[in-house]
Structure 1
Amino acid sequence: MSKRLLRMLTMQLHRMLAMVMIGVLGHISAAPLNGAVNHPLNGWYPCREFTFLNGVSSSGQGEDAECAIYTAPFCYPGICEVSEFAEPTADIFAKRIPATAGDTKTAHNVWLLQGGPGYSFTAIWSDMVELRTKLGGAVNVYTMDYRGTGRSTLFDCVAAQITTTGSTWGRAIDPSEVPTSAKDLRMKYGDLASFSTTSAATDISTFISSFRMVRALLSME
């Protein structure tokens, strides 16, 4: 499949999403190389394409996807400093749907990410399935929940109970609740730059480099 065709199809999907980052990765699969990976990957386990079905039975959905937890440093050098009471690592939830045409180990790897960061990838899962279909099943499609969202280490004011349904604005945060929430988060995590956009982007680049996935970015213009 030509790069020109890949570009055209990707641009079509880009119009459907508020913000998407797509990386077309090289031919090497995301398998650890002889134990050389510093940050382990717990996976890949068979899982269903659509994780949350709003109460609808999942019996009709096949286990065509694979899920994993990537253990990333809580703070990256130059971005933040780990406090003495924070966990040294963060869990990053990742999901992929393997190629159905050809060998998954030699297929291109495509990353499709939710806008933000600030949201989990659940809103774009159907777009992942559509992308693989439009590319003839010839690619492996990857995504992950940014740190702080979804099934990754969650950025949540648990002690202050700010985002509970019984709080002032439910799961949203009222401006008057910000000081309390900020204090709670600083007490739990210390340096909040650990949940910055830079930290989330570094999770992706570190994941790719840790598992020797050679990346070639596809222009979105």
Structure 2
Amino acid sequence: MKLVYVFDAYCGWSHGFSGTLLEVVSRHPDLPVDVVSGGLFTGSRRVPIREFGYVQGANAKINELTGAEFGDGYERLIADGSFVMDSEAAARGMAALRQAAPDRAVELAAELQRVFYVEGLSLSEPAAYRRVSEAAGLDADAVLAAFEAPETQATAEADFRRSAELGVTGFPTLLAVGGNSVTPLAQGHATADEIDQRLAGLSAARTH
């Protein structure tokens, strides 16, 4: 069995879930985790942030429920409402980071969200991936080259397809996948203890 984490780097609820996921991974170091970009803001949803009137209210709720930080840099970035969240660019960046350090994908996804939601770096810009790479001790030049490479675009599109094939309709979604079975462990919000209980239930069901 493995975990599949479907998120979007531009999803505030995914940012709020980062702490929970890091805790789950630390409790289950032997459980592999695939990190998949879901593609929240693509196509006709790639519009200035002012068109999503609920953003500030939603962020306040996420902070209240999860303690996730929304920093001054982020507030400045979105202040005039013109910033466009482009999930395709973010998925390419996540694919480049994942390629550089596949076994650290959960940590890198959390850090990617931090540089957007706390520092206010656009995930369409190479600077965001340089910041994440350097903080993680990765070869930043290699990550930036991968971010710009045409094949990374195909990887991002494959992530979006995988998300759809898994039946994911909202982010974040954490799934337990084993054989032909796909079991949701968390959608939107859950604590590490709640996920542990669901994992324990799954393990018990398998041994009967």
The answer to whether the superposition gives a TM-score over 0.5 is no
> Which one has a bigger Cα radius of gyration?
1
Report the TM-score range of the alignment, normalised by the length of the smaller protein.
Answer: under 0.3
Which structure's residues are more often strand, by fraction?
Answer: 1
- Normalised TM-score (structure 1): 0.24
TM-score normalised by L of structure 2: 0.25
